[in-house]
């Protein structure tokens, strides 16, 4: 059996830190893979959340002097975000158009998505249904620097 030892996180480290980068910044990921990327690599690796749990149980059995340390370790383990949470937060949600279009469209008008500067034709599923936009003629849309959705001009 191979014994693994970890450095203990300094008192100045933010709650949930699992490592310190060579540039002095802290890392709070669950694994070393990709840790401190762009920060010159890992300098010190601290006990992970899963490794901290046995230490918490052992500290609870120790004298009352160890109780504050156990409470701090438990707080750090709970405060550390999991990798699954980080992935979920960073994933983009796919926006689907609302069931009804904004009133005011019609023949000869395109819907301009003002945030992306893309215009949609009347036959397009996004016509009048993007989060932000306005109706105008195709010529006006082009004059204001907007472009056709996927390069397809209206007919």
The yes-or-no verdict on residue 62 having pLDDT over 50 is no
Same domain, 84 and 124: no
Going by pLDDT thresholds of 50, 70 and 90, the confidence category of residue 11 is: confident
What is the domain count for the chain? 2
Based on the domain organization, do 33 and 60 belong to the same domain? yes
pTM greater than 0.85: no
pLDDT of residue 71: 52
Both 23 and 86 in a single domain? yes
Of 36, 62, 90, the residue at which a domain comes to its end is: 90
Residue 129 has pLDDT above 60, yes or no: yes
Q: Find the domain containing 36 and state its range.
A: 19-90
The answer to whether residue 112 is domain-embedded is yes
Tens of pLDDT, residues 79-121: 545 444 444 544 556 667 777 778 888 888 999 999 999 999 9
Taking residues 42-65, report their average pLDDT. 55
11 is a domain residue: no
Together in a domain, 64 and 120:
no
On whether both 77 and 96 belong to a single domain, the answer is: no
- Here the tokens at position 108 are 């000869």
Q: Can you tell me the distance from the alpha carbon of 150 to that of 155, in angstroms, rounded to the nearest whole number? A: 14
54, 71, 90: which is the final residue of a domain? 90
**Degrees (nearest 5) of the Cα angle 114, 116, 120?**
75
pLDDT at 49: 47
Residue 32 · residue 20 · CB < 8 Å: no
Beta strands of the chain (E only): which ranges?
19-21, 26-27, 42-45, 109-113, 118-120, 134-137, 147-148
Q: Give the DSSP letter of residue 82.
A: P
Please identify, among 90, 122, 138, the residue that sits at the C-terminal boundary of a domain. 90
| Same domain (yes/no): 86, 108 | no
Residue 48 confidence (pLDDT): 55
User: Mean pLDDT lowest for which of 16-20, 133-137, 142-146?
Assistant: 16-20
């Amino acid at each position: 059996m191979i014994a693994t030892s970890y450095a203990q996180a300094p008192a100045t480290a933010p709650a949930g830190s699992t490592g310190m980068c060579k540039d002095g910044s802290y890392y709070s990921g669950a694994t070393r893979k990709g840790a401190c990327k762009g920060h010159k690599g890992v300098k010190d690796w601290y006990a992970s959340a899963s490794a901290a749990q046995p230490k918490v149980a052992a500290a609870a059995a120790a004298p009352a002097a160890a109780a504050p340390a156990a409470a701090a370790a438990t707080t750090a383990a709970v405060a550390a975000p999991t990798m699954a949470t980080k992935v979920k937060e960073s994933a983009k949600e796919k926006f689907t158009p609302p069931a009804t279009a904004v009133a005011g469209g019609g023949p000869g008008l395109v819907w301009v998505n003002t945030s992306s500067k893309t215009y949609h034709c009347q036959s397009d599923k996004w016509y009048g249904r993007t989060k932000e936009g306005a109706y105008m003629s195709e010529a006006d849309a082009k004059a204001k620097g907007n472009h056709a959705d996927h390069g397809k001009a209206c007919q």
